[in-house]
């Protein structure tokens, strides 16, 4: 699933399942580890009730930054 940073709504919140899918099909445990790793600087979730949501634009920007750093 490829998402362009320019087309992301900066206010759209996405659930953990969609974050996992955007990040290449990672598991919930990997998402948990990335969220708790200070070295990775993964975007922080926002809690609505007991559920976690991320800003779609922040996740895509984080992935783009990692991709450009690896190149």
Per-residue pLDDT of the chain (71 residues; tens, 9 = 90+): 455 556 778 889 999 999 999 999 999 999 999 999 999 999 999 999 999 999 999 999 999 999 887 77
Rounded CA gap, 19 and 38, in Å? 18
Q: Using DSSP, state whether 48 is helix, strand or coil.
A: strand
Q: What is the pTM of this model?
A: 0.84
Judged by DSSP in three states, 37 sits in: coil
Quote the DSSP letter at residue 43.
P
Beta-sheet strand order (sheet of 13-15):
13-15, 51-55, 46-48
């Amino acid at each position: 699933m490829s998402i362009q940073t320019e087309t992301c709504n900066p206010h759209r919140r996405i659930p953990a399942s969609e974050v996992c899918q955007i990040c290449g099909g990672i598991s919930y445990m990997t998402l948990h580890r990335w969220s708790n790793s200070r070295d990775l600087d993964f975007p922080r979730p926002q809690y609505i009730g007991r559920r976690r949501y991320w800003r779609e634009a922040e996740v895509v920007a984080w992935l783009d930054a990692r991709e450009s750093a690896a190149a």
